[in-house]
Every structure is written in C-alpha cells, then in structure tokens.
Amino acid sequence: EAGVTQFPSHSVIEKGQTVTLRCDPISGHDNLYWYRRVMGKEIKFLLHFVKESKQDESGMPNNRFLAERTGGTYSTLKVQPAELEDSGVYFCASSQDIAGGRWRTGELFFGEGSRLTVL
C-alpha cells in the first residue's frame, strides 16, 4: 500500500512568488493534515481536513496560505506571495476515520515532506 506522497520534494523560489505543494494521502484516509517545520523549531500544526471540509485551520499563519482538498482526495497548499519566513519543511499526514474506534489520536502517517526555500 502506498504511503502519503508529497510533491515537490524541494522547491526554491524567490520572495513574492507563488508555490503550490501537493499531498496524496493514503487511500481511504478521510483525515488529512498539514504541518510545517521551520528550521530549528518544532513541527507545527497548520490545518486538518475531514474529506473535503476544513475541520480545524487554527494553525494557518496568515491569509497568504490557502489549502484545498477538492473531492476529498489529494490536497494542495498554496503560498502566495511567499515570504522569507515561509521557508521550512511542509509535512502532510493522513489518518483513518474514527468510525468503529479504529483510529486513535496520534496515529498519523506522515509524508516525506516538501522542503520550501524562499530566497
């Protein structure tokens, strides 16, 4: 079974440009999350989708970040316009639905991350 896949693995852009990151969750996982790790800091929660709906977007830093999950499958995270402080590794994770008690908090499956460098 394929894991969580993210694209691109590394993106280098200039300040003011736009970048779109993509995440394909594990097939059948309704829950999809975006996290970010800025250099030297902790991994921080950005938002959580349940299918195509945003369940929790409390971690989104500002309105330059737009996340979508049309159709409840893959998700995109767009940064427009990018700023220097947006540099970091963006992780996507997915998990199964809680129905039937099969899912417990924390059993997230992470992708390899998309490294964003803003110059």
Tokens in use for 119?
């110059």
User: Could you say whether residue 75 binds other proteins (CB under 8 A)?
Assistant: no
Count of residues engaged in binding other proteins, rule: CB under 8 A: 29
SS (H, E, C) the chain: CCCCEEECCEEEECCCCCEEEEEECCCCCCEEEEEEECCCCCEEEEEEEECCEEEECCCCCCCCEEEECHHHCCEEEEECCCCHHHCEEEEEEEECCCHHHCCCCCCCEECCCEEEEEC
Tracing tokens 């390899």 back to the chain, one arrives at 112
Nearer to other proteins, 86 or 111 (CB): 111
User: Could you say whether residue 107 binds other proteins (CB under 8 A)?
Assistant: yes
Amino acid of residue 12: V
Nearer to other proteins, 7 or 17 (CB): 7
Q: How far is the CB of 33 from other proteins (least distance, A)?
A: 5
User: Could you say whether residue 26 binds other proteins (CB under 8 A)?
Assistant: no
User: Could you say whether residue 106 binds other proteins (CB under 8 A)?
Assistant: yes
Residues 38-57 touching other proteins, rule: CB under 8 A, are 40-45, 48, 55-56
| Site residues (vs other proteins, CB under 8 A) | 4, 31, 33, 35, 40-45, 48, 55-56, 58-59, 91, 93, 95, 98, 103-108, 110-113
